[in-house]
Amino acid sequence: MSLRSAGTIALAVSFAFAAQHAGAQQKAEAGAGADPVAHLVGQLDLEKYKATIKSLTRFGDRRQGTERNRQALDWIEAQLKSYGCSNTERLQYQFTEPAVRGKPAVQAGGGAGGPPGQGGSTLFGRRAPIGVNTDPMLQPDERLRALNAEQTPQGTSLRENVYCTKIGATHPEEMYIVSAHMDGIGFGEAANDDGSGTALVMELARIFSAPGVETERSIRFVLWNNEETGLNGASAYVAQRQHLQCIESPPGSGRYPEPKWLGMIQHDMMLFDHGMPVPKLDAAGKPVLDAKGQPVYTAPREQRAEADVNIEYQAQSKQADGSARLAWAFRAANDKYATHYPAAVGFHMTNTDSTPFMDLVPSISLRENERGQQIGAGWNPHWHQPTDLYANYSDQDFLLGLNAAQTTLAGVAQLAGARVKKK
């Protein structure tokens, strides 16, 4: 627990990450028989997590409706199959591209991606500008600018989500949904939003699909499309499949194409918790002023010592009580199994793919910051910008995402009844 103190976390910056993982792996292997959750958490690896994010950035910002988006879906599906997730499927839906997506000031708690008023909290403090970059020329990298050149075609066309399922050995008719969105915008690489969440879900699919790993209940790993246009991929899934829950098909087969939803866990932006914006300084160390003579604020350069994994539920939802219990169960899992960063629970979940589920099943989201109070106040300057690049994140940032993975893996493993067969 001493590692969680602010001073020790700051000191941990100088640790060798490979050595840290080796120690965690040895501990997990030593206790595999007694604690299968510790064993599974020990299979998470910082370099593998980073490599998956890096591979996703090969497809640029993966903007929905484009060829680079379709290629990313194909790659994700191939990776899931290579992990042993052989029942990989796609859900298709029709989407109509709106005339305009995103104005320069997408305010916390409203805008595209969630019903107005569900952000709930307002930051009383410094704010930095937020918005969606729609100018490709703000991307200085010519190679990346060319990769992201294709825009979403106007009109109605086919979109797809991709998912695979770990079938429960005892209760295949019940499942937890673990998800992230794979599309992005902003003419960058969408490394954080939401390559970091996509890679997290893929890593969990890899570990739960490994030989010898069993769960009592099913787990579905879903990568949504069209999050950036208003949660359309997740909404299409709810519309098509909510009424199919727990229906055996064919009757007597013991197969449930859509098991009963027990909980929905979304991951959206996992890497950047650098703290409240600070005054931007010029070369002489003086505050930079805007055209009105007011200080310009920007995010600190390094991950803050108080960085944490934010677990949020929506207090206004019909499933608020169950969602709160789910959030605190994940907080407890973080306390026991995460290695570096603690977790904090909040009740203003909004603007993420768990929103379409939140009145139907206990739903939570894991993020780097509170969506309404912090991300919406400009705590992440790379959000929807050309600077959302793999190269702009440090190992401290990636480690925050890995700790979120540890949190979800541990929480889901406990809830789904995971066990590891001895070799």
Residue 365 lies in a domain: yes
- Residues above pLDDT 90, as percent of the chain: 77
Question: Tens digits of per-residue pLDDT, 268-293?
Answer: 999 999 999 999 999 999 999 988 99
Smallest Cα–Cα separation from 113: which of 336, 297, 384, 369?
Answer: 384
CA-based torsion, 350, 272, 402, 66: positive or negative: positive
**Residue 340: left if φ>0, alpha if ψ -120 to 50, beta else—which one?**
alpha
Question: Tens digits of per-residue pLDDT, 124-179?
Answer: 677 788 889 999 999 999 999 999 999 999 999 999 999 999 999 999 999 999 99
Q: What are the backbone dihedrals phi and psi of residue 221, each rounded to the nearest 5 degrees, phi first?
A: -105, 115
CATH assignment of the domain containing 296: 3.40.630.10
3-state DSSP of 353-372: CCHHHCCCCCEEEEECCCCC
pLDDT at 124: 61
Residue 25 lies in a domain: no
Domain encompassing residue 200: 33-99+121-420
Q: What is the mean pLDDT of the chain?
A: 88
Number of domains in the chain: 1
Mention every residue, 6+ apart, whose C-beta is less than 8 A from residue 170.
Answer: 216, 217, 417
Residue 149 identity (one-letter amino acid): A
On the question of pLDDT at 18 being above 50, the answer is no
Residue 4 lies in a domain: no
On the question of pLDDT at 87 being above 60, the answer is yes
Residue 23 lies in a domain: no
Residue 313 identity (one-letter amino acid): Y
Question: Is the pLDDT higher at 14 or at 310?
Answer: 310
Residue 116 lies in a domain: no
On the question of pLDDT at 100 being above 70, the answer is no
C-beta atoms surrounding 196 within 10 Å: 34
Distance, in Å, from the CA atom of 128 to the CA atom of 105, rounded to the nearest integer, reads 11
Distance, in Å, from the CA atom of 371 to the CA atom of 188, rounded to the nearest integer, reads 21
Residue 108 lies in a domain: no
Distance, in Å, from the CA atom of 312 to the CA atom of 315, rounded to the nearest integer, reads 9
Residue 287 lies in a domain: yes
Residue 209 identity (one-letter amino acid): S
The arithmetic mean of pLDDT across residues 241-245, rounded, is: 98
Q: Which of 22-31, 87-96, 209-218 has the lowest mean pLDDT?
A: 22-31
Residue 5 lies in a domain: no
Mention every residue, 6+ apart, whose C-beta is less than 8 A from residue 312.
Answer: 327, 345, 346, 347, 348, 349, 350, 364, 365, 366, 367, 370, 371
- Residues above pLDDT 70, as percent of the chain: 86
Q: Which of 129-138, 188-197, 316-325, 332-341 has the lowest mean pLDDT?
A: 129-138
List, as one string, the DSSP characters of 299-334.
--SS--TT--EEEE-BTTSTTHHHHHHHHHHHHHHH
Smallest Cα–Cα separation from 17: which of 304, 399, 405?
Answer: 399
pLDDT at 121: 52
pLDDT at 122: 54
Q: What radius of gyration, in Å, describes the C-alpha atoms of the chain?
A: 21
On the question of pLDDT at 106 being above 60, the answer is no
pLDDT at 376: 86
Question: Tens digits of per-residue pLDDT, 347-393?
Answer: 999 999 999 999 999 999 999 999 888 898 889 999 999 999 999 99
Question: Tens digits of per-residue pLDDT, 109-126?
Answer: 233 334 433 444 555 677
- CA torsion angle 230 234 235 237 (round to 10): 160
Is residue 184 a contact partner of residue 194, using CB atoms and an 8 Å limit?
yes
